[in-house]
Amino acid sequence: MSNDYYPHPWLAREGWFFLTIAVAAAILSTILACFYGVFAWLAGLCWLATLFVFQFFRDPKRTIPTQENAVLCPADGRVIKVETTQDPYLQREALKISVFMNVFNVHSNRMPVDGVVRCVWYDAGRFFNAALDKASLENERNALHIVTKNGVDITCVQIAGLIARRILCYVKSGDEVIRGQRYGFIRFGSRVDIYLPPSARARVALGEKVRATETVLAELP
């Protein structure tokens, strides 16, 4: 099923400013290089930076699986944690699945399920490497408590990393959300943690590469 809920272009709006600056710098340095050959190396670097910005802020459409009990992946990246642990927000035992995003992954975050946002928690935190275990509890993070239409509680946490310095979240408590909906963005390397009921069955393994929306992380009972 195609995602019709997609109000954004292929390039994420969060990147428009950065791309404009990068392109302007690349054009200016190229003009200078035409008159002063010594600036050729600078022009090359500026165009490489422009390509990096463009690939970092890409935000392509995704196909949404139709499986009703599926929990969809909220981010592109690599699975770094699949374990039973304590949900620090709802204070319950939970199945935790963590996805690490490097600077070459798509950083737009999508909703894993249909439901209602019951609560939002934000913590300024610190900026450890997002791949470390302590990042889940100590880094800057934004957590959502989502309740599905069947009454299942899910916690979805955006976590900033060593380089990431900006978490953006566009939903608030009381909002109705749909699977695959674009709800946030994390700039320059980060992580997303999902806490599910312990009865949920993981559909991914450690080290597996995953794609936001299109990869099924787990199945709810």
Q: Which of 29, 108, 136, 190 is catalytic?
A: 190
Tell me if residue 190 is catalytic: yes
Q: Where are the beta strands (DSSP E) in the chain?
A: 70-72, 77-87, 92-101, 108-110, 115-123, 141-147, 153-160, 167-169, 176-177, 182-186, 190-196, 201-202, 209-210, 216-219
Structure tokens at 100: 């690490």
> Are 92 and 199 in a shared domain?
yes
The answer to the question of residue 3 being in a domain is no
CATH number of the domain to which 204 belongs = 2.70.70.10
> Are 77 and 185 in a shared domain?
yes
> Are 114 and 20 in a shared domain?
no
Q: Is the pLDDT of residue 3 over 70?
A: no
> Are 32 and 84 in a shared domain?
no
At 60 the pLDDT is: 85
The answer to the question of residue 35 being in a domain is yes
> Are 131 and 187 in a shared domain?
yes
Q: Tally the C-alpha atoms within 13 A of residue 65's C-alpha that lie toward its C-beta.
A: 19
Residue 87 identity: D
> Are 122 and 25 in a shared domain?
no
The answer to the question of residue 18 being in a domain is yes
> Are 21 and 85 in a shared domain?
no
pTM: 0.83
Q: Is the pLDDT of residue 9 over 80?
A: no
Taking residues 159-168, report their average pLDDT: 74
- Which residues span the domain enclosing 24? 13-56
The answer to the question of residue 62 being in a domain is no
Q: Is the pLDDT of residue 114 over 50?
A: yes
Measured distance CA(12)–CA(19) in Å, rounded:
10
> Are 74 and 159 in a shared domain?
yes
The answer to the question of residue 113 being in a domain is yes
Q: Is the pLDDT of residue 134 over 80?
A: no
Residue 220 identity: L
Question: Which residues, other chains included, contact 136 with Cβ-Cβ below 8 Å and sequence gap of 6+?
Answer: 88, 98, 157, 159, 191, 193
The answer to the question of residue 1 being in a domain is no
The answer to the question of residue 5 being in a domain is no
At 211 the pLDDT is: 95
Nearest-10 crossing angle of helices 40-56, 16-35 = 160
> Are 24 and 126 in a shared domain?
no
The answer to the question of residue 6 being in a domain is no
Q: Tally the C-alpha atoms within 13 A of residue 60's C-alpha that lie toward its C-beta.
A: 11
Return the SS3 of 136. helix
> Are 191 and 139 in a shared domain?
yes
At 5 the pLDDT is: 47
The pLDDT tens digits of the residues spanning 177-211 come to 999 999 998 876 688 999 999 999 999 999 999 99
> Are 155 and 51 in a shared domain?
no
Report how many domains make up the chain. Answer: 2
Q: Is the pLDDT of residue 2 over 60?
A: no
> Are 139 and 36 in a shared domain?
no
